[in-house]
């Protein structure tokens, strides 16, 4: 049993910290140069072959530093979708490009009205000679505004398949926008999009959940990093802010709220660690339960921490000029991306009920 | 015990409804329904209608141009206007400075300032909060130094709502720095056009601009603009802060929020069923409706029994919490479409196409905006201190 | 609009207060003498013809004084079951006896495994000449240990009927016990119980809900009275108890917890008032929504108040010798009798969803 | 990072399981399953088995008869014994006074007292709390006045768990009333059979008797029973209170509670379906399981990283809350059968027939009993004070 970073993880963490502390103009390019884009890419495809915990090491720093980079969309979930479903040739084509930072990839699994239900899939693929024709709509595709390659889930005959679409292909309409935390996304409409046969990656059903779980774990880790900063900022603010002739950290009610935050944070941290540890595991049940557990705490207790932090800051906490709000918005995005609390509690609870032993 | 309105109040309610039906501008109703942010011209348009009708100052005595309505009538009016989505009447003249002027002001001040308020010609803003003061309102640092017939005012105010609309500001200023902080404060009325006043916008978490910083740099204010006695301003401020009794719970606003929430919950789906039928969401919605009904009744109890002891604080605490929970649950109802940030789509000038359902754009901004309700107007923490004081009798 | 007691309610309240303050050896007999047993009995049957609010006036004092008397079982729900379903003759036979305090009546609606669902009814009545034969089991019958008359719900042909059983009838087996708050109850088994034809009161379906709602409102009012005392006791304790050289009421965290209690209490009070106001209303929907609303707050926020009160008392709060626990146990019983929080939230929520306007 | 047990720990876990399978008395297992309260003979029977095996003092150094296990091993042992429903080893000798004696006691005291503890011959109780002291443990009023080779002790202790089983009591006594309260306290070991000691039972909300008042009336205690130095007792007490690190979170107990809870939730029905499938109940159960997993991992993190800073307080707070929530949800799972009060049915001597399902009788008593967990051993409020201190660095 060991809850510390390995030597490699420590090095990765230090590099990311240094990079974010610097004044890079193109942060993602610098990240790619130090290997972050390939952190989770298998070694045989020019990556570092990292696992979920290695991804977490990066995600924590991304959250702590409010970095807006396509690590999650491209280097984690986009990469994993290709890696889990692609043929040897497809992987050889795309994964090294991802690792080098030359290709941005997004997953487009969710659809309007699906509300996190990956089985709710109306996008249709039909055979067309050697290739396929796709029609459908995808919603809130993270990184979809900048993606070069979009991994789309669609029904083909009676199965669910993943396809790799060139973002510039005819028939694709993107509506780009920013999320609450500033990262880009897009709604995507597919109208008679024609694909070559080699755009078919493979079976989607089980893989979608695996990819989605990795995304949930990574964004939970980002939120954990942001929450750590929120708690530290709030403690610091209470110490320096004076009211009624004393630092407001003297007020017992505020002291206890800080203590509540600390209690919640340490427990959340444990679950995020476990979720990330299992985020690339093939054991779908353990992975799903651990990821849902972490995601629920982030959504529920993370939100609580954010609300209390704003409250304890008072007026300054609700201004857009003060950094607190940016961290809070980062956590809020993590609440709603890759399944909200109710989605995960239902998934976790169903498994609990189905498997309760007697 | 009788929980229903009496005949006279029912007749009044009908009168209000008839008036609103006839006079509330359809273009404001449309803006409200589409969640386009109200601007000065919108407030103006509605407040002018109310002023013409003589209904802009519900709580003021008739002699000063007010309605002289009972608390129950004021509450009816509040709820009815909120229900149709009318802009709230900006409170700074009507609810805040007006009663101070007609209670403590000189005859000349009454004659000069009250007509502009009830005719909706003069916009006011409130210069109480200062940087770093927070809940400690009496720690006023802005100074006013007597210089012949004038005061010279220097300092900074903050969280000043709608200062950019205002013609006048009512300020707490320190006129005696040598005494206990509550004893050296005066209450001064200042023309916003005076040389030395500048306004800097503060953008809030929802991306909107309604609060400001106000800088006062050697601002010359005629001594005749001093309300009441010099160094007695803290007493007037406490009167002002304690004066607002109806509307403290925000029942009308939260009711309107719940109408929207139910609409969203019927429209959104989880697992192919309307969200309102999802057991977890339904339970939260039910819980919120129940708490709102409790708040509504408790508010009515205060109106009927008088705003004594801890009652106003109790209503402020729960009322502000429900104002938060209602928009929080609206946001939760969206699921993935809570993610896009579309605050710009609430601006009248915006002409894009929002993504997601039409009610999505305002949800996350509203959630962030409402965090303020437990902070301003006496934070939840301050209200709890007050309640504890009444319970422990110290 | 008026939230104060009427002249009559004030008098009733004062009488009950005086009575409980006295040293009566037979409290219930004294209550009956002052008319409490007949408070809700229609005037034509020798009662005071009171409504829900009048019942509340009594129930509040019962809760404040931890009185263990069959007001709820006999004078409220038992009476109401007879009153709503009985023929003129049946009412003339039983209601005056109730009003005089000569008859204790319990309702036996719930069954093992029904979990508050009144439709879950397995007790069977079959015709037998002019009379009926009943078989079935009833659970947690409030006041069932001392009842002279038991109003039993049973299926007859395709309908649900209420029957009035003499508690001493052959075939009735009672298992008596005390509830957590000391009031008596019983589980009742009915084995071939033979009834005369005049034991049939009438249709049960709609009436059961009305009777049950009255019970829920009354026990919520009892709990409200108990909670008022709990809050007052706690405030008093904090003022007198010294620790670290000062009264512990000086600690801001405890001050704010008291404030939270006050906020919860006033809102609960409003809903209990409304629930009792509508508790005998024929408007089944308004009644049900108001009663469920009050019952939910009592169960959820009432429990919170109890837990915080114990916590703020510290060690003394968990002893059986100190009065606090008796009040807390009274509230706990009110949480579980006549439907728990989940039962009422489901009922309230279902109606909300069914009737949501667009 | 590695979340799993290493090979050596897995082997140890297997050894513990094998031992428990072979040695845990079936009659205790039956009592535990039937939720019959353990009495002295039950503790005795199990603790004798552990003592014979040499496993009664997991954290003690081997030289004093302990196991010398690592924190992780101690945790494994805790969890395994809780899982089978074994009585917890009463902590007063093993966990509390023992380490004080072997750390601060004289050679003679070690020789005299430690063997009785590891052989399970001597039962101890803890004389710290006094009436009216609450969380202010240092406000000791019980006095010990030197009289030749003896102390004469007068005062009263309260919340003294299992004083009625105890042969000895370790007491905080005031030996110098003239100094700051923490500086005048001594740590004294007193034979419970000494003249002048009387024990009065206190019944708790669950109807059980395990705590007591202990009255000390001119009790003569040989000075050789003073641990360490006179007036240094507060330091030993703090050592004792801070010494308990494994088990602070109560993970094993709550895990066992959840096994029972799941059983109840599968058995009880709502609307004809198992309660565990009811969405609201299932969500609460899931939430509790998740919080327990978080607690378990956080506890392991502390064992691996060391019990520094606020860690023990964090675990105490959350651990005690989950101990409460688990029995609360068990009670809620019952519905109407939460109402009958059947605490007597938990007594070994009772021979009636409980009403409702067999698991009903202990639910309400357990709910009330567990309210103590956030009060004793440093209340939640005290723990939060400690956490805030570490966060603000004062």
Note the pLDDT tens digit of each residue in A28-46. 999 999 999 999 999 999 9
Output the pLDDT for position B3: 84
Output the pLDDT for position C357: 64
For chain D, what are the domain ranges? 7-89, 123-232, 249-392
Residue A121 to residues A16, A136, A345, D173: CA-CA distances in angstroms? 37, 9, 22, 73
Average pLDDT over residues B95-121: 97
Those residues whose C-beta lies under 8 Å from the C-beta of residue A72, and which sit 6 or more positions away, are A59, A62, A142, A143, A215, A218, A219, A222
Same domain for A180 and A45: no
The pLDDT of residue A358 is above 60: no
Chain A contact partners (≥3 CB pairs within 8 A): B, C, D
Tell me which of A100, A122, A138 is where a domain ends. A100
Same domain for A308 and A269: yes
B290 to chain C: closest CA residue: C293
Write the pLDDT tens digit of every residue in D236-287: 999 998 876 667 899 999 999 999 999 999 999 999 999 999 999 999 999 9
Number of continuous H segments (helices) and E segments (strands) in chain A: 11, 10
The strand pairing partners of C247, in sequence order, are C242
For residue D297, count other CB atoms closer than 10 A to its CB.
22
DSSP state of A300: I
User: Does the distance separating the beta carbons of C178 and D340 come in below 8 Å?
Assistant: yes
Output the pLDDT for position B244: 67
- The answer, for B388 touching chain C at a CB cutoff of 8 Å, is yes
Nearest CB among B135, B204, B338 relative to A318 is that of B204
User: Does the distance separating the beta carbons of C296 and B287 come in below 8 Å?
Assistant: yes
Output the pLDDT for position C172: 98
* D263-268 contact pairs (CB < 8 A, 24+): D263/A358, D263/D359, D264/D330, D264/D333, D264/D334, D264/D357, D264/D359, D265/A356, D265/D333, D266/A356, D266/A358, D267/D357, D267/D359, D268/C115, D268/D333, D268/D334, D268/D335, D268/D357
Output the pLDDT for position B394: 66
C263 to chain B: closest CA residue: B314
Query: How would CATH label the architecture of B249-392?
Result: Up-down Bundle (1.20)
Count of domains observed in chain C: 3
Same domain for C328 and C217: yes
- The answer, for B9 touching chain C at a CB cutoff of 8 Å, is yes
CATH classification of the domain holding A125: 2.40.110.10
Output the pLDDT for position C11: 94
Tell me which of C149, C184, C203 is where a domain ends. C203
- The answer, for B31 touching chain C at a CB cutoff of 8 Å, is no
User: Does the distance separating the beta carbons of D291 and A296 come in below 8 Å?
Assistant: no
Nearest CB among A115, A317, A333 relative to B335 is that of A115
The pLDDT of residue D1 is above 90: no
Average pLDDT over residues B219-248: 91
Quickly state the pLDDT bin for B303 (edges 50, 70, 90): confident
Separation of alpha carbons A232 and A230, rounded Å: 5
User: Which is catalytic among the residues B79, B244, B268, B353?
Assistant: B244
Residue B244 annotated to the active site: yes
CB C55 within 8 A of CB C276: yes
Q: Pull the structure tokens for residue D36.
A: 């019959």
Output the pLDDT for position B377: 87
Same domain for C87 and C32: yes
DSSP state of B2: B
User: Does the distance separating the beta carbons of B158 and A315 come in below 8 Å?
Assistant: yes
Write the pLDDT tens digit of every residue in C1-56: 889 999 999 999 999 999 999 888 899 999 999 999 999 999 999 999 999 999 99
Enumerate the residues of chain B whose CB falls inside 8 A of the CB of residue D279: 279-280
- The answer, for B8 touching chain C at a CB cutoff of 8 Å, is no
Output the pLDDT for position D186: 98
Please give, rounded to a whole number of angstroms, the shortest distance from the CA of C145 to a CA of chain D.
Answer: 12
Output the pLDDT for position D163: 97
Quickly state the pLDDT bin for A228 (edges 50, 70, 90): very high
Same domain for A179 and A265: no
The pLDDT of residue D303 is above 90: no
Please give, rounded to a whole number of angstroms, the shortest distance from the CA of A251 to a CA of chain C.
Answer: 7
Please give, rounded to a whole number of angstroms, the shortest distance from the CA of D311 to a CA of chain A.
Answer: 9
Chain C contact partners (≥3 CB pairs within 8 A): A, B, D
C321 to chain D: closest CA residue: D203
The strand pairing partners of B185, in sequence order, are B174
Quickly state the pLDDT bin for D2 (edges 50, 70, 90): confident
Domain limits for position A348:
206-355
CB B251 within 8 A of CB B71: no
Output the pLDDT for position D137: 87
Enumerate the residues of chain B whose CB falls inside 8 A of the CB of residue A143: none
C333 to chain D: closest CA residue: D339
Write the pLDDT tens digit of every residue in D165-217: 999 999 999 999 999 999 999 999 999 999 999 999 999 999 999 999 999 99
Interface test with D, best of C314, C327, C335, C344 (most D CBs within 10 A): C314
Write the pLDDT tens digit of every residue in D123-153: 999 999 999 887 788 999 999 999 999 999 9
Dump strand ranges (E) for chain D: 124-127, 143-147, 150-157, 168-174, 185-191, 197-203, 209-222, 226-227, 269-270, 273-274
Helices marked H in B268-352: 279-305, 311-334
Residue C316 placed within a domain: yes
Enumerate the residues of chain B whose CB falls inside 8 A of the CB of residue A179: 339-341
User: Does the distance separating the beta carbons of D277 and A353 come in below 8 Å?
Assistant: yes
Same domain for A211 and A183: no
Average pLDDT over residues A145-150: 98
Give the residue among B100, B156, B153, B166 at the shortest CA–CA distance from B133.
B156
> In chain B, helix, strand, coil percent, each to 5?
50, 15, 35
Half-sphere exposure of A148 (CA within 13 A, CB side): 11
- The answer, for D374 touching chain C at a CB cutoff of 8 Å, is yes
Average pLDDT over residues D107-115: 97
Question: Kind and range of the H or E element at A191?
Answer: strand A184-195
B280 to chain D: closest CA residue: D280
Residue C161 placed within a domain: yes
What are the residue ranges in chain C where pLDDT is below 70?
357-358
Interface of D with A in 56-95 (CB under 8 A): 72
Separation of alpha carbons C49 and C39, rounded Å: 6
Q: Which of helix, strand or coil describes residue D388?
A: helix
Nearest CB among B135, B205, B355 relative to A175 is that of B355
The b-or-e profile of A137-153 (16+ CB within 10 A means b, else e) is: bbbbbbbbbbbbbbbbb
Same domain for A290 and A252: yes
Interface of B with D in 184-203 (CB under 8 A): none
Nearest CB among D270, D340, D367 relative to C177 is that of D340
> Whole-number mean pLDDT of chain B?
95
Residue C192 burial (10 A CB sphere; 0-12, 13-18, 19+): exposed
Same domain for A86 and A122: no
| Residue A305, φ and ψ in degrees, nearest 5 | -60, -45
Same domain for A299 and A240: yes
Nearest CB among D72, D297, D310 relative to A271 is that of D297
Interface of B with A in 126-165 (CB under 8 A): 129, 132-136, 139, 158-159
Q: Are strands B168-174 and C159-166 parallel, antiparallel or unpaired?
A: unpaired
Residue A297 to residues A279, A331, A335, D123: CA-CA distances in angstroms? 16, 12, 9, 43
CB B294 within 8 A of CB C268: yes
Query: How would CATH label the architecture of D123-232?
Result: Beta Barrel (2.40)
DSSP-derived secondary structure for C184-233: EEEEEEEEEEEE-GGGEEEE-HHHHHHHHHHHHHHHHHHHHHHHHHHHHH
Please give, rounded to a whole number of angstroms, the shortest distance from the CA of D361 to a CA of chain A.
Answer: 20
Same domain for C325 and C229: yes
User: Does the distance separating the beta carbons of D205 and C342 come in below 8 Å?
Assistant: no
Residue A39 to residues A16, A96, B344, C350, D140: CA-CA distances in angstroms? 12, 11, 37, 50, 60
Q: Pull the structure tokens for residue C265.
A: 């209490």
Residue C203 burial (10 A CB sphere; 0-12, 13-18, 19+): middle
Separation of alpha carbons C218 and C272, rounded Å: 9
Output the pLDDT for position D223: 97
Separation of alpha carbons D276 and D274, rounded Å: 5
Average pLDDT over residues D53-73: 95
Enumerate the residues of chain D whose CB falls inside 8 A of the CB of residue B284: none
User: Does the distance separating the beta carbons of C274 and B2 come in below 8 Å?
Assistant: no
Give the residue among B292, B302, B243 at the shortest CA–CA distance from B91.
B243
Write the pLDDT tens digit of every residue in A53-66: 999 999 999 999 99
CB A154 within 8 A of CB A123: yes
CB C225 within 8 A of CB C60: yes
Same domain for A221 and A346: yes
Give the residue among C271, C272, C263, C183 at the shortest CA–CA distance from C221.
C272
The b-or-e profile of A314-343 (16+ CB within 10 A means b, else e) is: bbbbbbbebebbbbbbbbbbbbbbbbbbbb
CB A108 within 8 A of CB A151: yes
Enumerate the residues of chain B whose CB falls inside 8 A of the CB of residue C269: 298
Separation of alpha carbons D203 and D365, rounded Å: 12
C180 to chain D: closest CA residue: D341
Separation of alpha carbons C97 and C91, rounded Å: 10
Interface of D with B in 232-291 (CB under 8 A): 279-280, 283
User: Does the distance separating the beta carbons of C252 and A251 come in below 8 Å?
Assistant: yes
- The answer, for B203 touching chain A at a CB cutoff of 8 Å, is yes
Tell me which of A179, A203, A227 is where a domain ends. A203
The pLDDT of residue D394 is above 70: no
CA dihedral D371, D374, D375, D376 (to 10 degrees): 110
> In chain A, helix, strand, coil percent, each to 5?
55, 20, 25
Residue C2 placed within a domain: no
**Torsional sign, CA D141, D146, D147, D153:** positive
> Whole-number mean pLDDT of chain A?
96
Enumerate the residues of chain B whose CB falls inside 8 A of the CB of residue D285: none
Those residues whose C-beta lies under 8 Å from the C-beta of residue A314, and which sit 6 or more positions away, are B134, B135, B375, B379
C237 to chain D: closest CA residue: D132
Same domain for A330 and A283: yes
CATH classification of the domain holding A261: 1.20.140.10
Q: Are strands D168-174 and D185-191 parallel, antiparallel or unpaired?
A: antiparallel
Those residues whose C-beta lies under 8 Å from the C-beta of residue D107, and which sit 6 or more positions away, are none
The pLDDT of residue B132 is above 90: no
The pLDDT of residue B368 is above 60: yes
| Residue D110, φ and ψ in degrees, nearest 5 | -60, -45
Output the pLDDT for position B1: 82
Q: Pull the structure tokens for residue D132.
A: 């009216």
- The answer, for B352 touching chain D at a CB cutoff of 8 Å, is no
């Amino acid at each position: 049993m060991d809850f510390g970073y390995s030597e490699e993880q420590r090095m990765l963490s230090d590099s990311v910290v240094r990079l974010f502390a610097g004044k890079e103009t193109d942060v993602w390019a610098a990240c790619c140069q130090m290997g972050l884009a390939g952190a989770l890419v298998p070694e045989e495809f020019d990556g570092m072959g990292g696992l979920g915990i290695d991804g977490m090491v990066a995600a924590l720093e991304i959250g702590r530093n409010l970095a807006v980079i396509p690590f999650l969309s491209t280097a984690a979930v986009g990469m994993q979708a290709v890696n889990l479903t692609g043929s040897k040739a497809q992987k050889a084509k795309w994964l090294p490009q991802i690792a080098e930072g030359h290709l941005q990839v997004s997953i487009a699994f969710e659809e309007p009205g699906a509300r996190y239900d990956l089985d709710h899939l109306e996008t249709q693929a039909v055979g067309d000679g050697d290739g396929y024709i796709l029609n459908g709509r995808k919603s809130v595709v993270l990184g979809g505004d900048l993606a070069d390659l979009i991994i789309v889930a669609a029904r083909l005959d009676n199965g669910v398949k993943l396809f790799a679409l060139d973002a510039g292909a005819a028939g694709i309409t993107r509506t780009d926008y920013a999320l609450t935390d500033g990262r880009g996304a897009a709604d995507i409409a597919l109208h008679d999009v024609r694909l070559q046969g080699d755009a078919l990656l493979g079976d989607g059903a089980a893989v979608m959940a695996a990819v989605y779980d990795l995304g949930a774990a990574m964004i939970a880790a980002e939120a954990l990093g942001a929450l750590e900063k929120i708690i530290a900022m709030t403690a610091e603010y209470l110490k320096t802010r004076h009211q009624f002739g004393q630092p407001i950290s003297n007020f017992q009610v505020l002291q206890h709220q800080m203590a509540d935050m600390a209690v919640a944070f340490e427990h959340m941290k444990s679950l995020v660690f476990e979720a990330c540890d299992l985020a690339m595991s093939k054991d779908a049940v353990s992975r799903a339960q651990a990821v849902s557990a972490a995601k629920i705490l982030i959504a529920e207790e993370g939100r609580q921490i954010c609300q209390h932090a704003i409250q304890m800051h008072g007026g300054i906490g609700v201004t857009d000029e003060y950094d607190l709000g940016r961290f809070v918005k980062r956590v809020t995005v993590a609440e709603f991306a890759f399944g909200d609390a109710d989605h995960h509690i239902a998934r976790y609870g169903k498994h609990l009920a189905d498997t309760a032993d007697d | 015990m009788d929980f229903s309105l009496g005949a006279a109040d029912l007749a009044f309610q009908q009168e209000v409804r008839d008036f609103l039906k006839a006079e509330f501008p359809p273009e404001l109703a449309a803006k409200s329904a589409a969640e386009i942010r109200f601007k000065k011209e919108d407030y103006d348009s509605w407040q002018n209608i109310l002023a013409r009708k003589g209904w802009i100052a519900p709580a003021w005595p008739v002699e000063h141009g007010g309605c002289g309505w009972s608390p129950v009538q004021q509450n009816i009016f509040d709820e009815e206007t909120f229900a149709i989505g009318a802009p709230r009447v900006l409170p700074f003249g009507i609810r805040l400075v007006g009663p101070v002027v007609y209670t403590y002001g000189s005859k000349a001040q009454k004659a000069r300032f009250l007509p502009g308020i009830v005719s909706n010609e003069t916009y006011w803003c409130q210069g109480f909060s200062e940087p770093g003061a927070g809940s400690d309102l009496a720690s006023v640092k802005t100074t006013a130094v007597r210089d012949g017939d004038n005061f010279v005012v220097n300092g900074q105010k903050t969280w000043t709502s709608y200062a950019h609309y205002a013609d006048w500001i009512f300020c707490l200023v320190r006129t005696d720095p040598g005494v206990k902080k509550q004893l050296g404060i005066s209450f001064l009325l200042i023309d916003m056009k005076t040389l030395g006043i500048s306004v800097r916008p503060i953008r809030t978490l929802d991306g909107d601009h309604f609060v400001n910083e106000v800088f006062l740099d050697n601002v010359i204010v005629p001594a005749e603009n001093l309300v009441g006695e010099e160094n007695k301003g803290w007493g007037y401020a406490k009167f002002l802060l304690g004066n607002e009794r109806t509307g403290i719970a925000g029942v009308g606003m939260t009711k309107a929020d719940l109408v929207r929430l139910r609409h969203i919950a019927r429209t959104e789906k989880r697992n192919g069923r309307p969200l309102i039928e999802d057991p977890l969401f339904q339970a939260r919605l039910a819980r919120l409706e129940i708490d709102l009904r409790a708040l509504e009744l408790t508010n009515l109890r205060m109106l009927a029994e008088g705003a004594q002891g801890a009652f106003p604080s109790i209503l402020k605490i729960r009322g502000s919490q429900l104002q938060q929970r209602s928009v929080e649950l609206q946001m939760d109802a969206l699921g993935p479409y809570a993610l896009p940030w579309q605050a710009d789509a609430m601006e009248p000038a915006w002409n894009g196409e929002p993504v997601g359902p039409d009610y999505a754009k305002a949800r996350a901004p509203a959630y962030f905006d409402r965090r303020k309700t437990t902070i301003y107007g006496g934070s939840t923490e301050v209200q709890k201190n007050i309640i504890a004081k009444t319970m422990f009798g110290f």
